[in-house]
Amino acid sequence: MTPQSAQLRALPDADVLLEDASLARRYHARLWSALDRDLAAGAEHARSRRYFASLDRATTPVLLPYALGDRQQESLRRWAVGAVFHVLRQRFLERAQPVSPGSPVRPARMPPSELHRLEHVELLQRRLLEEQFGAGSALDRPALADAFVAFASGRLALPLEGLAVACQPSGGTYFLFGEFALLVHDHAELFDGETLATWRRAAGPMIATQELFARRYAAPLAGGPRSLDDFGPEHVVLSSAENERLTRSARERCRALADADWDALARAATVTARTSLAP
């Protein structure tokens, strides 16, 4: 075990702290101070860490005051994120179910009364993507692929001394990055061509790195299928060599899915969902 990996194991994941408002305040201040130092120093992965930290701040209920600072807006954001998360989780679990050969997977769509919540979350996520990686056909897909490979492989993990580890996957919600892109496509009538181009370019890295995430963060099977709660940093047992092999494979898969159409992306997500949860 390396000194860094020992340090990571000695600290809790950030999600543990975010159940307590006072600890969340300390966590937020310490994290963003570290991110600002990274950016000023031109540190490796500075942009990638900032993207994932920004997304976490914009969608985690206890961190919303630091993203919005308006209670009415915080309430609207919580409702929107909660509604979309519910559908994404349902879609992923449906995707993971075995079906007879040739039977199409038809994941859930947003209820008509909730479409405005999807539009809210799509705009939020797209702005964060564009801030770091560009928009539409100009989205920097290699940089985004590097960010997701680094995140899924644990390379972005940022120990905040005496507090927690930030910028690492903390559960099976990692699968929902790709599922969100597919959800946007399934509601293409709501979005313009530039928006759909952004999500198609983003979907490849999000889906291509799911296997790396699953292999690294999955709990051992215990006689039945896994759930989304059976993934997290506490389950990491990969050797450095195995993690590196899976990382190289994820990079190759990012290249393979770079120009994939939506049907190919959905098939790839379905295969990973089934192999990740299946007993």
Q: How far apart are CA 137 and CA 70, in angstroms?
A: 34
Q: What is the mean pLDDT of residues 200-227?
A: 94
| pLDDT at residue 136 is higher than 80 | yes
The predicted pLDDT at position 7 comes to: 45
Residue 127, CA atoms < 13 Å, CB-side half-sphere: 9
Which SS3 state, helix, strand or coil, does residue 35 take? helix
Q: How far apart are CA 275 and CA 279, in angstroms?
A: 8
- Residue 240: count other Cβ atoms within 10 Å of its Cβ: 10
* Tokens linked to 63: 């961190």
As a residue count, the chain comes to 279
Q: What is the mean pLDDT of residues 24-45?
A: 92
Q: How far apart are CA 19 and CA 14, in angstroms?
A: 9
- Residue 170's pLDDT band, with cuts at 50, 70 and 90, is confident
Q: How far apart are CA 191 and CA 185, in angstroms?
A: 9
- Residue 19's pLDDT band, with cuts at 50, 70 and 90, is low
As a whole number of Å, the end-to-end CA separation of the chain is 29
**Cα-trace Rg, the chain:** 18
The predicted pLDDT at position 100 comes to: 65
- Quick one: which H or E segment has residue 165? strand 164-166
pLDDT per residue over 138-168, tens digit each? 999 999 999 999 999 999 999 988 788 999 9
- Residue 223's pLDDT band, with cuts at 50, 70 and 90, is confident
Q: Where are the domains of the chain?
A: 3-277
